[in-house]
Amino acid sequence: MAERARVAVLISGRGSNMEALISAAQQADCSYEVALVFANVVDAKGLETARSSGIATASLDHRGHGGRAAFDAKVDAILREHRIRFVALAGYMRLLSDAFVDGWQGRMLNIHPSLLPSFPGLHTHERAIETGCRLHGCTVHFVTSELDCGPIVAQAAVPVLDDDTPDMLAARVLTEEHRIYPEALKALCAGQLRIEGNRVFGFR
């Protein structure tokens, strides 16, 4: 098999999507390996999980670096030190500077807990319930400078049930996140994806 692409997963907290990405990479035919988990929160729970899987980790508190661009430049340097080829944001709760986004253009994915373009931003499950949606879900998309707006690679929908609380709905969506994110990342790292305007071709 061809050499596997080196991926960095960027997290800020729990890291359940990170775990799903790591576990998919344990399959022999996976097109990527998780070569680094980086967190902007030094005690992020996911860092411990990554370490216990034998994966290299790095962390840097985002405060006190003289602004967003300066912090992102340091993150970028860490990624390059680890010879990272692709980046997967997985609950990374930071807005990114334009320079960082430009540097990883076409090589950085994010998972968002809604069916974009509905509900970019936070509190997506509450908003889907309040809006009266019958379907809700998750989206894997390329990262561009506009928040939660890049070309869509994969989506999965779940029903919104009459007695759903935001937490119940979030749990149903999260199961789908864990299913589609590894598939989308595998396709990217295998070179199967092609972006034309807003559309992504090649995801099966």
Q: Is 40 in the site for ligand GRF (CB under 6 A)?
A: no
How far lies 101's CA from each of 64, 144, 175, in Å? Answer: 21, 6, 28
Closer CB to ligand GRF, 15 or 150, in the complex:
15
Q: Minimum distance from CB of 140 to ligand GRF (Å)?
A: 9
Q: Is 16 in the site for ligand GRF (CB under 6 A)?
A: yes
Nearest to 148 by CA among 189, 120, 107: 120
113 vs 135: CA distance, rounded Å: 12
Q: Which of 24, 30, 41, 90 binds ligand GRF (CB under 6 A)?
A: 90
The residues near 54 (Cβ < 8 Å, ≥ 6 apart) are none
Closest residue (Cβ) to ligand GRF? 91
Q: Which of 24, 71, 88, 91 binds ligand GRF (CB under 6 A)?
A: 91
Q: Is 57 in the site for ligand GRF (CB under 6 A)?
A: no
Query: Is 178 designated active site?
Result: no
Residues 62, 65, 112, 123: which is the catalytic one? 112
Q: Minimum distance from CB of 170 to ligand GRF (Å)?
A: 7
Q: Which of 177, 185, 193, 200 binds ligand GRF (CB under 6 A)?
A: 177
Q: What is the DSSP annotation of 127-180?
A: HHHHHT-SEEEEEEEE--SSTT-SPEEEEEEEEPPTT--HHHHHHHHHHHHHHH
The interface with ligand GRF within residues 102-161 (CB under 6 A) comprises 111-113
The residues near 170 (Cβ < 8 Å, ≥ 6 apart) are 113, 125
Q: Minimum distance from CB of 73 to ligand GRF (Å)?
A: 23
159 vs 142: CA distance, rounded Å: 25
Enzyme catalytic residues: 112
Residues that bind ligand GRF (CB under 6 A): 11, 13-17, 90-91, 111-113, 174, 177
